[in-house]
Amino acid sequence: MSFKDIMNIISVIAIPFVIFTFLIYGFAKKVKVYESFVEGAKEGFNVAVRIIPYLVAMLVAIGIFRASGAMDVLVAILSPITNLIGFPAEALPMALMRPLSGSGSLGIMTEIMKTYGPDSFLGILVSTMYGSTETTFYVLAVYFGSVNIRKTRHAVIAGVISDLTGLLTAFFICKLVFG
């Protein structure tokens, strides 16, 4: 069994296992399981609704940026710089889109792999980049929005530093292993 198979099995059974354990353990500890579940679950709606203004603000700004074609302009400006370290210009839209939009970066990844093949260097690179970091601005809006945090302090800078490191490491490790 490969690492992937083992991980697949674990990720399939993890959620049922956790829920089962919680229920049985709770029951054993004489917790009124049904009543407590409902008590906790009723907050679900409020949390989701609290996120809405934050998510609308964030996604609309990202939507304007994406639809305007500003990404192409940014790629043209940045590609001479990224060329210096040998970073392929074709993968630059991926690097720029990843922190902003999950669906956008998924689209770019799919498009690049369709054009150049999933096993080409570019294909490997963009799929590694996709997995190496998350949609920072979306996570930021949802997580802080859920508790009404408006002043995010150093979260954006730290998040962008993390994205940059993840994307660059993805490039160097792919070059080392597959380049």
Partner 1 sequence: MMNYIWLALIIIGIITAVGTDIYESSVNKYRNNVEFNALIELKEKPSAETQVKGILKVSGEYYKNFYALKNFNQDTIKNEITLRLKSETAGTVILSISETTPDFWKLMAKGKGTNTDKLIANVVKLEEVNENTYKASLIFERVSLVKIKQVLNAVIEYADIAVKIAIGLIGIMALWLGVMKIGELAGLINLLAKVVKPLTKRLFPDIPPEHPAVGAIIMNISANMLGLGNAATPLGLKAMEELQKLNPKKDTASDSMVTFLVINTSGMTLIPATAIAVRAALGSGDPAAIISTTIVGGFAATVAGVTAAKILQRLKVFKKEIEENGENKKELEQ
List binders of partner 1 among 68-127 (CB under 8 A). 68-70, 73, 99, 106, 109-110, 113-114, 117-119, 123-124, 127
**Cα(173)–Cα(179) distance, integer angstroms:** 9
Residue 26 exposed, middle or buried by CB count within 10 Å (0-12, 13-18, 19+): middle
The binder of partner 1 chosen from 75, 82, 121, 142 (CB under 8 A): 142
Q: Which of 78, 79, 82, 152 binds partner 1 (CB under 8 A)?
A: 152
- Residues that bind partner 1 (rule: CB under 8 A) add up to a total of 105
The DSSP call for residue 90 is G
153-161: Cβ within 8 A, 24+ apart: 159/99, 160/99, 160/136
User: Least Å distance between CB 121 and partner 1?
Assistant: 12
- Which candidate, 124, 136, 149, 134, places its Cα nearest to that of 54? 149
Query: Which one of the spans 37-45, 78-86, 87-95 is the region binding partner 1 (CB under 8 A)?
Result: 37-45
Q: Does 8 bind partner 1 (CB under 8 A)?
A: yes
Q: How far apart are CA 119 and CA 63, in angstroms?
A: 31
128 binds partner 1 (CB under 8 A): yes
Q: How far is CA 138 from CA 26, 128, 155, in A?
A: 34, 20, 13
Residue 84 or 151 with smaller CB distance to partner 1: 151
The residue from 17, 63, 83, 179 that contacts partner 1 (CB under 8 A) is 63
Q: Least Å distance between CB 3 and partner 1? A: 7
